[in-house]
Amino acid sequence: MMISELTATELQARLTTAGLCFGCGPFRLRLNSSLRLLFPVLHKLYAHYPVYDHSGVDDYRMTLDWASPLRRWLRPVVRFSADGPAPFTDVSIEQAFPTLEWGMNWCIAVRAHHVLMLHAAVVERHGRVLVLPAAPGSGKSTLCAALSHSGWRLFSDEFGLVQPEDATFIPIPRLISLKNQSINVIRQFSATAHIGSTYHGTHKGSVAHIRPPLASITRMKESAPAGWVIFPRWQAGAALTLQPIAKDRAFMMIASNAFNYEVLGELAFKAVAHIVKNCEIYSLVYSDLAQAIHTLDDLTQ
Partner 1 sequence: MLQNQSPAQYASALLINAVCEPQQLSKLSDCDWDLLLQVARQKRLLGRLYMELKRLCLLSSVPENVAAQLRAANNLVTHRQTVLAWELNRILWALKGLDVPVIALKGIAYVIADLPPASGRFFADLDILVPLEHITVVEQRLLDRGWLKTTLSPYDERYYRLWMHEIPPLRHRERESEIDIHHTLLPRTHRFNFHAITASLFTEAHTVPNSEAQILAAPDMVLHVLVHLLFEGNPEEGLRLRDLIDIADLLRYFGSEMTFWSQLVQRAEQLNLGRPLYYGFRYLQRLLGIKVPAFAIQTTARFAPIAPIQWLMDWLVPLAILPEHPAYPRYRARLARQLLYLRAHWLRMPPLLLIRHLSYKMWLRLRKVPRYIDIKPQDLQQL
Partner 2 sequence: MDIWQLHSQGALHWEQWEDQFALYQVASGETHFLNAFGAAILQQLIAAPQSLDAICAHLAIEFDCMPDAELCAQVSALLTRFDELGLIQRHDD
- Degrees, nearest 5: CA angle 229-233-235: 155
Judged by beta carbon, residue 145 or residue 245, the one nearer partner 2 is 245
CA 35 to chain centroid, in Å, comes to 23
Query: Please, what is the minimum distance in Å from the beta carbon of residue 267 to partner 2?
Result: 10
CA-CA distance, 252 to 248, in Å (whole number)?
A: 7
**Interface residue with partner 1, options 20, 24, 45, 112 (CB under 8 A):** 112
Stretch near partner 2 under the rule CB under 8 A, chosen from 2-10, 174-182, 245-253, 292-300: 245-253
Burial call 115-132: b when 16+ CB within 10 Å, e when fewer: bbbbbbbbbbbeeebbbb
Q: Report the nearest approach of partner 1 to the CB of residue 100 (Å).
A: 11
Give which of partner 1, partner 2, none residue 26 binds (C-beta under 5 to 8 Å, depending on kind): partner 1
89 part of the interface to partner 1, by CB under 8 A? yes
Minimum distance, C-beta of residue 110 to partner 1, in the bound complex (Å): 5
Buried b (16+ CB within 10 A) or exposed e, 55-66: eeeebbbbbbbb
Alpha-carbon gap, residue 221 to 133, rounded angstroms: 22
CB nearer partner 2, residue 162 or residue 220: 162
Q: Is 111 in the site for partner 1 (CB under 8 A)?
A: yes
Among positions 34, 81, 105, 287, the unique one binding partner 1 when judged by CB under 8 A: 105
Question: 66 touches which of partner 1, partner 2, none (CB within 5 to 8 A by kind)?
Answer: none
Buried b (16+ CB within 10 A) or exposed e, 12-46: bebbbeebbbbbbbbbbbbbbbebeebbebbbebb
For partner 2, the binding residue among 84, 248, 298, 301 (CB under 8 A) is 248
The answer to whether the CB of 163 falls within 8 A of the CB of 195 is no
Q: Does 106 bind partner 1 (CB under 8 A)?
A: yes
Alpha carbon distance 109, 263 (integer Å): 12
Distance from C-alpha of 21 to C-alpha of 60, rounded to nearest angstrom: 10
Shortest gap between Cβ of 248 and partner 2 (angstroms)? 4
Single residue of 119, 219, 233, 270 touching partner 1 by CB under 8 A: 119
| Per CB under 8 A, 26 contacts partner 1 | yes
The answer to whether 175 and 212 have CB atoms below 8 angstroms apart is yes
CB of 96 to partner 1, least distance (A): 13
SS3 label, residue 282: strand
- 59 belongs to the binding site for partner 1 (CB under 8 A): yes
Distance CA 30, CA 22 (A): 7
Contacting positions for partner 1 (CB under 8 A): 26-28, 55-59, 61, 83-85, 87-89, 99, 102-103, 105-106, 109-115, 119, 203, 258-265, 267
Contacting positions for partner 2 (CB under 8 A): 246-248, 251-252, 255, 261-262, 265-266, 269-270, 273, 276
